[in-house]
Amino acid sequence: MKKTMKKVLVLVLVLAMVFAMAACGKKEEPVEEKSAVQTAIEAAQKMTLAELEEAAKKELEEHPDLVFNADSLTSGIKKALAGFEKKYEWAAGKTAYNSKKGSEYQPKLIAAQKANSYIADFVMIQDASFLKNAMLDTGFLRSYVPAGEGIEIAAEDQNPLVGVTFNKVFMYDNTTVGADQLKNVWQMTGVDGATLKGVNNVSFQNPLGEDINMSFLIMLTSPAACEKLTAAYKSYFGTDYDGSKDDYENIGYKFVAEFVKNVGHWHSSDSSEVKKINTYNEDGRILFAGLCKLKDYEFYKKDYKDTDMYYTKTVTAGGWNNDIEGFDGFVYNMWTLIPDTAQLPYTACLFINYIHSEEGYAAGWGGVLGYYSSNKNIPSVDGDPALSVWKEQCVVEDVEYIDSVYATAVKFINMQLAGVK
Amino acid sequence: MPKIVLENVCKRFDDFVAVENLNMVIEDREFITLLGPSGCGKTTTLRMIAGLETPTEGKITIGDQVVFDSEKGINVSPAKRDIGFLFQNYALWPHMTVYQNIAFGLENLKWPKDKIKERVAEMLQMLKIEEFEKRYPSELSGGQQQRVAIARTLAPSPKVLFMDEPLSNLDAKLRLEMRTELKRLHVDTDSTFVYVTHDQLEAMTLATRVCLIKNGVMQQYDHPLETYSNPANLFVADFVGNPTMNFIDATGKVTGENTAELNFFGKTFTLNAKGGLKQTEETEFVVGVRPEFVKLGEGALTGKVYATLPAGMETTVKLDVDGFVLTSVEFGSVDYMVNDEIPFGIDGENVILFEKKSGESLGKGCVTL
Amino acid sequence: MKNKQPLGNRLKSYFSKPANVICIIFLVILLATVVLPLLTLLIGSFTVNGNQEAIYIGQGVMDGDFTFNHWKELLTSRDFDYALIKFWRPLGQSTVMALLACLVAVGFGGVVAWFITRSDLPGKQFISTIFVFPYIMPSWAMAMFWENFFKNTQINAGAGMLEGMTGICVPESFVYGLFPCAMSLGLHYAPFAYILIGGILRNMDANLEEAATVLKASRFKILRKVTLPIVMPALISTVLLVFSSSISSFTVPFFLNKSSISSGNNFISISVQLRSLINTGFTKGQGYVLAIILMLFSIGILTLNNWFTGSRKSFTTVTGKSGQVSLVKLGKAKPFVAAVLFIIVAFFAIMPLVSFAMESVLEVPGDWSTFTLRYWLSSEGFEGSNKGDTIGILRSSIMWKALGRSLLLSIIVSLIAGTFGLLIGYAVAKKRNSKLATFVSNLAFFPYLIPAMSFGAVYLALSYTKGFTWLDGSFILLMLVGSIKFMPFASRTGTSAMLQLSGEIEEAAIVIGVPWIKRMTRVLFPIQKASFISGYLLPFISCMREMSLFVLLAASYTTLVTTVLQEYSRTGLSQAANAINLLIIVVVLVIQFVVNKLTGASIDKGVGGN
C-alpha cells in the first residue's frame, strides 16, 4: 500500500515537473544556418520532375516509419492525396490527411513554431494576417514554387505560394430575387440611388466568426477597392463622392460602415445557408457566400438527374451576378506551404507540384465552380468565368495591405458590428 | 489480559482543548463509563483509545502493547488494537443484510466460511435476532438495529469494547432493557467495556467505575457509589444523582481537624467529620445534602411546602426555606398540602462540605445544631 | 508544546490517513494540471503573444515581452469605443443573459424538482427520465430548435413550426438575440437545477415541512421560510454552474445572433468577443484578459457558494434514520398540473430530438417531399471523401471507428474523472474543516471555469515541447485533458454524496480492520452508489459531446465522433451532421439506460443521493 503511494507520488511529481517545463517553454536562439527543409526546398527547386520524384521516393523509402502528413482546412487535399497515391504507387498508404479548421489550427501552428516541432509535412492555410506575421516572418512556413511542364505560376502568387484561389460572391434565388435586383454595390448600403433602389436583404456571415469575411471588409478599404467604390458611387448617386462631408478615412470605410449597418441577416454557416436560399419569401435573401458552396448543386445534380429535384429545389435557383457595379465579390487564397520542421520535404515538394499540375488539381478541385488553380494554365470550369476575370471584377485579398491596416480596420469593423454610433 | 493505561493524553483542535492531560488506568474486565455533559471530551477520549482519533500528545497502552506514543511516533491502527466499537447511530451498513453486517468483519479476519456461519448464528441467538438474519437494517426497528450493531461488534470477540452512547437513540423502556442486556453481556463476554454516556443513571447502574469529565479535565474516577456519596467536587456532586443534591450556601470556618462551624438557614451548625476535614482559611462554603438526607416531619428546621411530586415508589417534596428551594425524597407515597409549614432535619453522616471558591470537597460528616 | 512530536513521526502519522494522502496527491495533480494553465493564462495576459501583437502594440516591443497593454486596451481604450464594444457592453449584456438563464434553469428545474420529489404527481418516472434529455444534447441543439420553431416569414427567416401550425409570427426579438439565448441556455441547464435541487429535496426530512404545517404556516410561507433556505446551497450551486456555463457559451449566442444591427436585437456576447479576441492574432493577450475576468466572476459565485454551504455545514447528513416522506396532495389540480408539466417537459425534451431526426431525413429543411434516408444509409462517397467515408453515416467505417474511439475515451475519462471526484469527495468529507481539503476541492472545480480553448492550448503547447511530442494528438493526451476538464462534475457529486455519509459508517469498518480500498469499494461506494454513478455519468456525457477541446488536440488517428460530425457539417452535409448528433444522443441514452438497469443509478437520481 505504502509502496504504491510512493510510486504514485513520484509519478505525480514527475508530471508536475513536466508541466512546469512545458509552461516555461524553452526559447531557442534563432538559427542562422539554413534548416534542412530550406536546403531541401532549394535543391528541389533545381530538380527536374523526374529527379524530384526520385528524391521523394528515396526519402519515403529511407523513412519507412514516417507518413506524409498533410494538414488542410479544405477536403480537396484529401482527394488530391488519393490521386497522388494512385499516381505514385510507392506512396500508397503512406499519406494522411488532417482536417483542420483555421481558428483551431492556428494555435497548433503557433505552438509548433514556438517549440520548433514537427507538425506536418505540408499545410494549406488561409488568413493573410496570420500567415504573414506568425508564419512567414518567423520563417516557419516555406514556399516551394512548382515548375515543370504545363505549370505556370504568376510571380505574385509564388511567395507565399498560392495553392487554390476561392471567391465569395453575392448569391440569390433566381426565382424570387432575380439578377436585376442587385446591380450596384451601393444598393447594399440600403440607400436609394438615382435609378436603383436600396436593398436590405443581404445575409452575411459574422466576421467575428469567419476571418475571410473580416479580410473582405478590410480589403474594402484598400486603394484598389476604393477606386471601384468611387466609380460605382458616381454611377449610383450621380455625383462624385465628397470625402470632406464625413469623417471616414476613405470611401471604403464609409461603405463598410453603411454596409454592416444594413446587413439584414447574419448567418452562422455559408453551407447551410446556401441550401436554404430558396426558402425565403418575397425579396428573398442576397447571400454573401463562397461560390464553391454551389458545388452541392453540381454534386446533387448528378444524383437527381432524373427528378432534377435538388436542382429545382435549390440551386437553379442559386445565381450570381457577374456585372455588379463596384465589385462582384471577394477573391482570396489558400496557400500551400511546407513547415520548416517537415520530415519529408521532397515528398512535400512533389505533392505541391502535383496539386498544381492539371492532373492533381483535377483530382482535388476539378469540375467545381468557385475553385481556381494558381497555375495559369488550368482554366476554371465551364460556366464559371476565368480567375483573371474574377480578379478584375472582385476585391482581391492582399496580404501586405491587410497586414498594414489590420488593427485599425478590425477595430473600426468591430465598432460597426456593435452598432455604436 | 488487557489493562488500558492512558498517560498524559491531550487532544487539541487548533486552539480548542478537547482533552487535557488525562491519566487513567482501566483494569482488565472493568466496565468503565465516561460521564459528562455534551462536549466535555468523553467521546474524544473514547475515540482516542480506540484509535479513531489521534491524540496530540501522550501515551496509550492496551495490554502489553503501546498503541500510541507521541514521542516515539507510535500509532497503531484501530484494526490492530483488538477492539470493538459500538456507535451512537449504530452505523450499520445499509446495503448489507443483518447476516452480512455481522459476517463482514469476520470475513475480513479471514475466518473460514463455516466458522463465520457458526459464529454469526451464535451471535444472532445471543442477541435474540435470529429471525432477522436476511433483513436489511432499514427493515428493522431501532432496538433491533441496536442488537445487530452489538452482534456485529461482538462477533470477532474483541478484548475491549468501546461504546459511544449506544442507547441514546432508544426509547426509555428499551433503554432499560438494553442496559440489563449490556450488563449481562459484560459478564458473558469476559471483556473490558468502556462506555460513554451523558446519562448519570446509566453510568451509575452499569459501571464498575465512573470517570467524570468536565471541559476535557477528569474530575473524579471512582466506583459509582463513591462518586455518589463522596463526590470530589461540586461538579461531580451536581452531575451524579437524581434528583440532584441540595447545595446550600453557608458561611463559617473550619474549626478543627474534624469540625467546622457553619451558618445557614439563619442558624449555626456544627459539622462533625469522622474522616477528617481538609484545612482551609476560607469562610465561604457550600453544604451538599442529598435529598434523601432531608428528613421531613421532625427536626429543628421548618420549611413551607412548595410542591409535591409523588412517583409511587418515592415522593419528591420541594420545600421553600427562606427563599431557598430544598429538595427532599421520601420513600413511599406521602402527601403534603402546598404552603403547609412542616418541620424537617438534616440527617445522616453524608453531608458534604465544599469550599465555595474552588468547589473542592473538604470532607463529609453529620451536621448538628 | 505543539511541536513536541518529531517531524518525522508527525509526517508518518499524517500520511497514515488515506484522506491526507489523497489531499496531497490531488493538490500536486491539480497544481500541475489546473494551476499551470491558469498561470499560463495570467502570464499570457501580461506578455506579448506573437509577432502580430508586437506589431500592434508597437513601441518596439518583442514577442514575449512584458506588457500592461492588453489590460489597458481592453478595459479602457476609447479608440473606436474599443473597450466599450469589446468588453463593457458585451459583459453587461452577457451577465443579463446568464442571469436570465439561471432564472429559467432554477425556475423550471426547481419547480419540476419540487413536483417530482414532493408531490403525488403521476408519471414521475417518465418526466424524470426525459427531463434530463436537454442536458444530454449539445447546448446549441436547443438554440437550433428554438430558431426552427419560432422563426417566421415576418422577419424574413422562412416559416418555422409555430407559424406553420398556427400562423402566429412572434417578433424578431423572440427569435434572435439576448432573450432566446437566455431561454435556450436556461432550458439546456434546467436539468442541472433539477438534479441538484431535487437531490436535496429528496433527502430533506419531511418533518421539517410537516413541523411548519402543524404550526399552521401557509404553504407559501413554508416554501419561503423552510424549503428555500434548505435548498439554498443547491440553488447557489446551480446558479454557479449555469452562470459560468452560460456566460462562456459560444455556440448558442453565435448561432442566435442573426438579426440586423439596426433591429436592436443584435447581440454580441462576451464569449463571442472572447473567441474573436483569442483567434485574432493581435488580440490574443486581450482574450486572456477577458478569460481571466470571466473566471473571476465565477470565482465570486464560488466563494458565495462556499460561504453559504459553509454556514450550513451539516445540512444534509443522512444517517439513514429518516422516516417516510409524505407527499403533498395536489388534489383536484392533479390532472391539470400533470398535463401541463408533461407537455412542457416533453416539448423541450423530445421536440429537439424530433427536430434533429427531421433535419437528418429531409433534403430541404421543412419540405417533406424531399424525404430521404441517404444521410443514414447511403454508401456513396461524397465530395472529398476518403476510403470508408460515406454520405450515410451508418455506412461510414470512419464514423463507426470514431464513435468507438469516442466511447472508449468517454468511458476512460469518466472512470478517471469519476474516481478522482469520489476520492476528492472522500477527502473533503473526512477533513471537513481542513483548509487544505477545501482548497483542493475548489481547485478541482477550476477546470470548469477555464475556457476550453485556452485549456486545450496549454496542453497543445506541452505536446509540442521537445521530449513530449509523443503526446501530440495521442489518445493519452485526450484522456488526460478530458479527465481534468470533466472532473468538476464528479468532484461536486462525490463531495455531496460523501458529505451525506456519517463518519461512523466508515469507522465501523476501520475498527474491524477493513483496509481502506475495501472500505471504499465494499462499504462507502455501495451505500451512495446512485450518487457516485452520477459522478461517472456526467463526465461521460460531457465527454461524448465535447467538441472544441478535443478538436484542438485530436489527430487524424485519434479522430472522435464530434470531429467527424464537424467534418460532415463543414462539407455541407448538415443532414448527416444532424444524424450523428442524434446518434450520439441515442448512444448516451442507451448507455445511461444500461447503467440504470445494471446499477439502479441514473443521472436524474443524481447529485444528492437516491
A166-331+402-417 CATH fold: D-Maltodextrin-Binding Protein; domain 2 (3.40.190)
For residue C330, CA distances in Å to C55, C121, C311, C335, C561 come to 68, 7, 34, 9, 45
Assign a CATH topology to domain C17-47+372-599.
MetI-like fold (1.10.3720)
A99, A106, A107 member nearest C567 (Cβ):
A99
Question: pLDDT tens across C424-480, in order?
Answer: 989 888 887 778 888 888 888 888 877 777 777 778 777 777 777 788 778 898 999
Q: Which residue has the cell 467524570?
A: B212
Residue of C511, C532, C533 to mutate when probing chain B, most B C-beta within 10 A: C511
Residue A40 has pLDDT above 90, yes or no: yes
The CATH superfamily assigned to B4-238 is P-loop containing nucleotide triphosphate hydrolases (3.40.50.300)
Q: What whole-number distance in Å separates Cα of residue A297 and Cα of residue A310?
A: 7
Residue from A108, A315, A405 to probe the interface with C (highest C Cβ count within 10 Å): A108
Buried-state track C416-451, b at ≥16 Cβ within 10 A, e below 16: bbbbbbbbbbbbbbbbeeeeebeebbbbbbbbbbbb
For the cut 60, the answer to whether the pLDDT of residue A134 exceeds it is: yes
Whether the CB-CB separation of C103 and C115 falls below 8 Å is answered with: no
Beta-carbon separation of A419 and C262 below 8 A: yes
Tell me the one-letter amino acid at B281.
Answer: E
CB atoms within 10 A of CB C567: 24
- CA distance linking residue C194 with residue A249, whole number of Å: 55
pLDDT of residue C608: 34
State yes or no: pLDDT of C574 exceeds 80.
no
Is chain A in touch with chain B: ≥3 Cβ pairs within 8 A? no
Burial zone of A50 (CB within 10 Å; 0-12 exposed, 13-18 middle, 19+ buried):
exposed
Q: Would you place residue C319 in the very low, low, confident or very high pLDDT band (cuts 50, 70, 90)?
A: very low
Nearest-5° Cα angle at B205, B202 to B210: 80
The whole-number pLDDT of residue A28 equals 46
Q: What is the tens place of the pLDDT at every residue in C398-417?
A: 889 989 999 999 999 999 99
Q: What is the gyration radius of the CA atoms in chain C, in angstroms?
A: 25
Q: State residue A351's pLDDT score.
A: 95
From the CB of residue A92, how many other CB atoms can be counted at a distance below 10 Å? 12
Q: Which chains touch B (3 or more CB pairs under 8 A)?
A: C
pLDDT at A53 (0 to 100): 93
Give the list of residues 6+ apart from residue A29 with CB closer than 8 angstroms, or none.
none
Chain B nearest-CA residue for C4: B71
Picking from A208, A212, A277 by the largest number of C CB atoms within 10 A of its own CB, the best residue to mutate is A208
Whether C556 and A97 have beta carbons less than 8 Å apart is answered as: yes
SS3 C327: coil
CB contact under 8 Å between C507 and B72, yes or no, is: no
CB atoms inside a 10 Å sphere around CB A32:
5
The shortest CB-CB distance from C156 to any of A5, A280, A410 is to A280
Quote the mean pLDDT of chain C: 81
Identity of the amino acid at C319 = T
pLDDT of A138 > 60? The answer is yes
**How many CA atoms within 13 Å lie on the side-chain side of B186?**
22
Q: Is the dihedral of CA C182, C188, C192, C195 positive or negative?
A: positive
Q: Which residues of C touch B109 (CB under 8 A)?
A: 512-513
Cα C532 from Cα C525, distance rounded (Å): 7
CA A277 from chain centre, in angstroms, equals: 23
Of C84, C259, C382, the CB nearest to A420: C84
Of B78, B109, B138, the CB nearest to C511: B78
CB contact under 8 A, A263 and C386: no
Cα Rg of chain A, angstroms: 24
Spell out which residues of chain A touch residue C462, defining contact as CB-CB under 8 Å. Answer: 18-19, 22
Contact B208/C at CB under 8 A: no
Cβ distance A277 to A270 under 8 Å? no
Domain range annotation of chain C: 17-47+372-599, 68-139+181-311
Looking at domain B243-368, what is its CATH homologous superfamily?
Answer: Nucleic acid-binding proteins (2.40.50.140)
- Cα–Cα distance for residue pair B325/B14, rounded to 1 Å: 42
Domain ranges of chain B: 4-238, 243-368
Q: Say if CB C82 and CB A410 are below 8 A apart.
A: no
> Which cell numbers in the block locate residue C393?
453515416
Model pLDDT for residues A66-98, shown as the tens digit of each residue: 999 999 888 789 889 989 999 999 988 888 888
Q: Are B32 and B211 in contact (CB under 8 A)?
A: yes
Instruction: Answer yes or no: is pLDDT of A7 > 70.
Output: no
pLDDT of A21 higher than 70: no
Report yes or no: A22 at the C interface, CB cutoff 8 Å: yes
Q: Which three cell numbers stand for residue A166?
A: 476561392
Q: Does the structure show a pLDDT above 90 at B330?
A: no
Q: Report the pLDDT averaged over residues A307-334.
A: 68
Do chains C and B touch by CB distance (3+ pairs < 8 Å)?
A: yes
From the number of C-beta atoms within 10 Å of its C-beta (0-12, 13-18, 19+), residue B365 rates as buried
User: What does the alpha-carbon distance between residue C482 and residue C478 come to, in Å, rounded to a whole number?
Assistant: 6
Q: Which of C589, C598, C593, C576 is nearest to C545 (CA)?
A: C589
Three cell numbers written together for B14: 487548533
Q: Shortest CB distance from B79 goes to which of C6, C320, C511?
A: C511
Q: Which pLDDT does position A340 carry in this prediction?
A: 94
**d(C-alpha B119, C-alpha B124), whole Å:** 9
Q: What is the average per-residue pLDDT within B100-129? A: 89
What CATH number labels C68-139+181-311?
Answer: 1.10.3720.10
Q: Which residue of C has its CA nearest to B59?
A: C5
Distance CA C280, CA C79 (A): 18
Determine the CATH number of domain A34-164+333-385. 3.40.190.10
How far is CA C259 from its chain centroid? 28
Size of interface A-C (CB pairs under 8 A): 244
Strand ordering across the sheet containing B324-331 = B324-331, B314-321, B294-310, B341-346
Q: Where in chain A is the domain with CATH 3.40.190.10?
A: 34-164+333-385, 166-331+402-417
Q: Is B87 within 8 Å of C508 when comparing Cβ atoms?
A: yes
Indicate whether C270 pLDDT > 70.
yes
Decide if B280 touches C, using CB distance below 8 A.
Answer: no
Cell numbers standing for residue C558: 485519434
HSE-CB at C297 with a 13 A cutoff on CA atoms is 26
Q: Using one digit for the tens of pLDDT, what is the confidence trace for C157-211?
A: 777 888 888 888 899 899 999 999 999 999 999 988 888 788 777 766 556 666 6
C-beta neighbour count of B233 within 10 angstroms: 19
Chain C residues with CB inside 8 Å of B104's CB?
A: 509, 512, 514, 522
Which residues does C585 contact at the CB level (< 8 Å), separation at least 6? Answer: C133, C136, C137, C353, C356
Nine-digit cell string for C262 = 439596426
Q: Tell me if A275 and C85 make a contact (CB, 8 A cut-off).
A: no
Report which of A306, A368, A344, A101 is spatially closest to residue A212, judged by C-alpha positions. A101
Is residue A27 over pLDDT 50? no
Q: Got the DSSP string for A165-217?
A: EEEEEEEEETTTT-TTS--BGGGGGT---SSS-----EEEE-TTT-HHHHHHH
Cα dist from B138 to A120, A416, B91, C76, C323, whole Å: 63, 67, 12, 64, 10
Q: H or E element: which one contains A163?
A: strand A162-173
**Strand, coil or helix: A286:** strand
Residues of chain C positioned with their CB less than 8 A from the CB of A23? 36, 39-40, 458, 461
User: DSSP assignment of B236-297, as one string?
Assistant: HHHHSSSSPPEEEEEEEEE-SSSEEEEEETTEEEEEE-TT--------EEEEEE-GGGEEEE
Whether a cis peptide bond, with omega within 30° of 0, leads into A160 is yes
**Percent of chain A with pLDDT strictly greater than 90:** 42
Mean pLDDT across the stretch A32-58? 90
- Angle (nearest 5°) at CA C256 between C370 and A221: 105
pLDDT digits (tens, 9 = 90+) for B225-271: 999 989 999 999 999 888 889 999 999 988 888 889 899 888 888 99
By three-state DSSP, how is residue B315 classified? Answer: strand
ipTM above 0.95, yes or no: no
Instruction: Give yes or no for B87 touching C (CB within 8 A).
Output: yes
Cross-strand pairs, B270: B261, B368
